[in-house]
Amino acid sequence: MKTIASFQVDHNILEPGMYISRRDGDVITYDLRMKKPNSGDYLDNGTLHTIEHLLATYVRNSVFADRVVYAGPMGCRTGFYLLLRDSVSKKDAITLVRNAFDYISGFNGDIPGASKRECGNYLNQDPVGARREALAYGWIIESWTPEQMNYKS
């Protein structure tokens, strides 16, 4: 089998930030890398789960809602993937992510979609951790530009 694109990225030099992971037709996959890979510092499950609920809810309620394909966590617990139609500019994608993480960092209230009826692991939430990690990621991408969106090799 061929090695998939995300496994071809050199995780030894990958730093937190926002990158273009791949392009498939009119869909761009953004790598929202919150943690340095293999550093021993990962998003705990409750934090990851809460950010997932809030990120997905935010982007699917944004002005780009009809161009959002997917927002979800990486299995390695170092960040998230955001899949958008390419009609969203890179600059607008960065702004969307900044705004989403600003929203998450200040979120107080009931986590959307976190009832027993709506979620398969509804008790696994950590809103305090989500706010903390969202704030930290917000600082990382605060001045991020489209020119920084390519992986280093």
Dist CA 10 CA 152 (whole Å):
8
Per-residue tens of pLDDT for the chain, all 153 residues: 988 888 888 899 999 999 999 999 999 999 999 999 999 999 999 999 999 999 999 999 999 999 999 999 999 999 999 999 999 999 999 999 999 999 999 999 999 999 999 999 999 999 999 999 999 999 999 999 999 999 987
Q: What does CATH list as the number for 14-142?
A: 3.30.1360.80
Q: Which of 100, 107, 148, 146 is nearest to 126 (CA)?
A: 107
- Quote the CA–CA distance of 103 and 110 in Å, as a whole number: 14
State the pLDDT at residue 7.
Answer: 83
Q: How far is CA 19 from each of CA 6, 78, 112, rounded to the nearest angstrom?
A: 11, 13, 27
Q: Are 18 and 97 in contact (CB under 8 A)?
A: yes
Any idea which residue has 């694109």 for tokens? 5
Extents of the domains making up the chain: 14-142
The pTM for the full model equals 0.95
